Chains A and B, each alone.
Chain A
Amino acid sequence: MKASFFFATPARSLPMRMLWVIAACSVATLLAWPWRELFDPANTAMLYVLAVAIVAARAGKGAAIATALLGSALLDFFFIYPHFTFTIGDAQHIVTLAVMLAVALIIGNLTLSLQREKEAALERERQSRALYQLASQLAGALTLEQVDELTRRFLQKTQACNGMLLMRQGENVLPVAGAQAPLSGKLYYAAQSALRQGAVQATVDEPMQWLFLPLHGSTYIRGVLALSATDTYLLDTERQPLFEAIAALLAASTERLHFVEVAQHAQLQMTDERLRSSILSALSHDIRTPLTVLYGMADTLAQSELPKALHEMADAMRQQTLRLNSMVSNLLDMAKLRAGDIKLNLEWQPVEEVIGASIKLLAPALAQHPVSVKLSPDIPLLRFDAVLMERVLCNLLENAAKYATPGSPIRIAVRTDKKFAHLSVSNDGSQFPPDRLENLFELFERGDSESNIPGVGLGLAICRSIVSAHGGSIHADNDDGACVIFTLPLGEPPVIEPEGESE
């Protein structure tokens, strides 16, 4: 008998099986009938055994047992003496019956297990083909929505269950497709536990069975695949490997999408950055060049021998050009600061150095004001970006010089408390409007909007951006004249080993 005989799909319906029983027994009886005088009944029995074997293979165990019983009855009735009665005259024929039954059982069972194995193999093949198909579809997916859609269609078609892709959002899971209603109650809780514990969770929400599979990415769990069906087969342990394979596929493709997104974002940011810095440097070059020419011309005029009125005009021109330049610098700085990521060049340094440099830089503007610097003793090194801090101090000093009464002093003071260094710049000029002390640091905000003192309200906004980038804060008060105070965190400065004796 060929192996394929056992692999052929057996008759499933009851009438078909009965037909097999009757046909097999009839054929055996009809074949044996003409030879009944010639052959011993034991040999005739072999025909019935053959019939049982065939029925066992083709119509299953039950039909085979029926064939065995019917066959032995027919054998008894037609071929065993006394003919045409069911009386068994010989104990040998009981053995024949027993053998037939045994053959029926053994072959029936054998067929059944082969059948089962075949079905399992077929199922496995079907699953791996389906998985392969899903994998190749997912490889082409460009968005999470597409992954979700493909998965749902796949599960619907091949597993007859509903699928839903839930992605991690911080510590929560949210459905990918916006149209899907978010999970509630115990379903949400089960999804959360799948995410947190990284293990499959099953739950029932009548009439649906739910299964939650975590999507294990290479670094963390990226989300959860929720399966639901009315049938309990979701919980079959046989199906688990398939579902886990789907979850692994989904984890891989969501991770791929994530990295694609990260790479695209980085690329975009880089292009953005390059564009921005080239615009800024072009602006800065193109604006500063005519400013340099203007400033140089005004400067030359102001130094030459001119009638007093003209000389004053030239001098004013020079002053205004400088102011224009400082405004352009402020605008460019603000553009850089606003654009986000300021790259701080943080270094430990003595604060008096940057104070000295700022005063020197603003010497022309501070000509009418004596500047006093008061440092409390033992101020540690502070960690800041010297260039940006110089900008803060210059803006504050420039402001102070603008608003202070001519000839009045400008005071810089530095003191420390446990966590911060407090730097203040104050003058005795007009006070800040008390009701708008906070607004002063907003962009394009000025203490007195009708003031005839030039400015656009950028300086203090830049100061605030820079100071907060350093982890400090800035505020204004009128306690010691008009005073702006900002803080810088103290931290732990590096230790510098003291040196040996002097030479």
Chain B
Amino acid sequence: MSEPTILLVEDEAQIRRLVRAALAEEGYRVLECGTLKEGLAQLHAETMQLLILDLGLPDGDGIAFIRELRTQFSLPVLVLSARSAEGEKIRALDAGADDYLTKPYSSGELLARVRAQLRRAPQEGTAAETHFCFGDIEVDLAQRSVTRKGTAVRLTPIEYRLLCAMLAEPGKVLTYRHLLSAVWGKAFVESNHYLRIYVSHLRQKLEEDPAQPKHFLTETGVGYRFHP
């Protein structure tokens, strides 16, 4: 199997057609179905590289489905949501989804998200990458060094831990809860302002224009995303 296989679970035939056309043009193999039940059967039948899931399916709660799915499968999940309620996005992400797209979206956006998820996926299980390069920043986790245009950047321990947590999952939306428990520990999951302050420190030190960041992106009301 050379080209990645993507499973699309969406009940609107028109949207299915569009998404399939866009993905097929990129050379992906697309399987599709309209219900959660069929989706689960397909996942059991063969190995997929990505699941694109609509949250408003007629035969069940998409979020519960993701939670259930996570007990058996590790493939990345990209959620399509017609609702723009941040609460639902957060719940989907905390349940185990990797990213979301709010309707309406352009095929450009969709393909970008799909590419990012597929890029991430094979790294799981293999040795973690220790060297990162984005913009004019270089990070070497083995050396614990961060340089900007070749000059060392001094980060505090918390800033460094936050940077590592974000680098570990490029392209994925990281909820406040996830980042807080990864960097500060479980006791701090309600202290969103800590996280916001330290992200702003990272932007001051690593972004060209901290007010309009290119790498440490804000997902308003949900969390952050690291874009390499």
Question: Is A480 at the interface (CB under 8 A from chain B)?
Answer: no
Given known contacts A356-B212, A360-B212, A500-B157, A299 and B108 CB-to-CB distance under 8 angstroms: yes
Q: Is A22 an interface residue (CB 8 A)?
A: no
Task: Pick from B79-87, B123-131, B167-175 the stretch touching chain A.
Answer: B79-87
Q: Given A350-B200, A357-B218, A503-B144: A296 and B212 within 8 A (CB)?
A: no
- Neighbour of B15 across the interface among A296, A361, A493, CB < 8 A: A296
| 10 closest residue pairs by CB, A with B | A295-B104, A387-B221, A292-B103, A296-B18, A292-B104, A357-B218, A502-B154, A293-B14, A348-B193, A288-B82
CB distance from A268 to the nearest CB of B (A): 24
In whole angstroms, how far apart are the Cα atoms of A387 and B15 in the complex? 27
Number of interface residues of A (CB under 8 A): 50
Query: CB distance B83 to A284 under 8 Å?
Result: yes
In the complex, whether B187 has a CB less than 8 A from a CB of chain A is no
Q: Would you call A285 and B82 a contact (CB within 8 A)?
A: yes
- Inter-chain contact B82/A299, CB cutoff 8 Å: no
How many A-B residue pairs have C-beta atoms within 8 angstroms? Tell me.
Answer: 124
Find chain B residues with CB under 8 A from A502 CB: 154-157
Q: Is A292 a contact of B15 with CB atoms below 8 Å? A: yes
Query: B104 touching A291 by the CB < 8 A rule?
Result: yes
Within the complex, the shortest CB–CB distance from B190 to chain A, in Å, comes to 10
12 residue pairs of the A-B complex, CB under 8 angstroms, read A285-B82, A291-B103, A292-B105, A294-B104, A295-B106, A299-B106, A300-B107, A318-B106, A354-B220, A359-B212, A360-B212, A502-B154
Does A261 sit at the interface, judged by CB under 8 A? no
Taking a contact as CB atoms under 8 Å apart, the answer to whether A284 and B108 are in contact is no
Asked if A405 CB lies within 8 Å of chain B CBs, one says no
List the B side residues contacting A494 at CB < 8 Å: 193
For A318-347 the 0/1 string (1 means CB < 8 A from B) is 100110010001000000000000000101
Which B residues are in CB contact (< 8 Å) with A294? 104
**CB of A264 to closest CB in B, whole Å:** 29
Q: Does A353 contact B (CB under 8 A)?
A: yes
What residue of chain B has the Cβ atom nearest to residue A277's Cβ?
A: B85
Query: Chain B: residues with CB nearer than 8 A to chain A?
Result: 12, 14-15, 18-19, 21-22, 56, 82-84, 86, 103-108, 144, 154-158, 160, 192-194, 196-197, 199-200, 210-213, 217-221
Which residues of A have CB within 8 Å of B83?
281, 284-285
Q: Are A496 and B107 in contact (CB under 8 A)?
A: no
In the complex, what residue of chain A is closest to B213 when comparing beta carbons? Answer: A356
Q: What is A's interface to B at a CB cutoff of 8 Å?
A: 281, 284-285, 288-297, 299-300, 303, 318, 321-322, 325, 329, 345, 347-350, 352-357, 359-361, 371, 373, 375, 381, 386-387, 390, 493-494, 496, 499-503
A328: min CB distance to chain B, Å: 10
Query: How near does chain B come to A355, taking the closest CB pair, in angstroms?
Result: 6
CA distance A303 to B108 in the complex (A): 9
> A387 to B220, Cβ gap below 8 A?
yes
Given contacts A284-B82, A295-B106, A381-B193, A386 and B211 within 8 Å (CB-CB) = no
Query: A290 to B18, alpha carbons, bound, how many Å?
Result: 12
Contact of B197 with A293 in the complex, beta carbons under 8 Å = no
List of A residues within 8 angstroms of B154 by Cβ:
502
Shortest C-beta distance, B174 to chain A (Å), equals 15
Is B157 in contact with A503, judged by CB distance below 8 angstroms? yes
Cβ–Cβ < 8 Å partners of A390 in chain B: 220-221
Q: Which residue of the partner chain B has the closest CB to A498?
A: B156
> Is A297 in contact with B18, judged by CB distance below 8 angstroms?
yes
With CB as the reference atom, state the residue of chain A lying closest to B219.
A357
Question: In the complex, which residues of chain A have a beta carbon less than 8 angstroms from the beta carbon of B192?
Answer: 347, 349
A356: B residues at CB distance < 8 A: 210-213, 218
Give the distance in Å from the alpha carbon of A281 to the alpha carbon of B106 in the complex: 22
Report how far A494 CA is from B160 CA in the complex, Å.
23
A289→B10 CA distance, assembly (Å): 11
- When chains A and B are docked, how far (Å) is the Cα of A284 from the Cα of B84? 9
Q: Are B193 and A496 in contact (CB under 8 A)?
A: yes
Q: Is the CB–CB distance between A353 and B106 below 8 Å?
A: no
- Residues in chain B near residue A303, CB distance under 8 A: 107-108
A291-B103, A296-B104, A299-B107 known; A355-B211 Cβ under 8 A? yes
Contact yes or no, B15 A293, CB < 8 A = yes
Min Cβ gap B211→A in Å is 5
**Chain A, Cβ-Cβ closest to B176:** A347
**In the complex, A114 Cα to B103 Cα: how many Å?**
91
Q: Roughly how many angstroms separate A285 CA and B88 CA in the complex, as a whole number?
A: 14
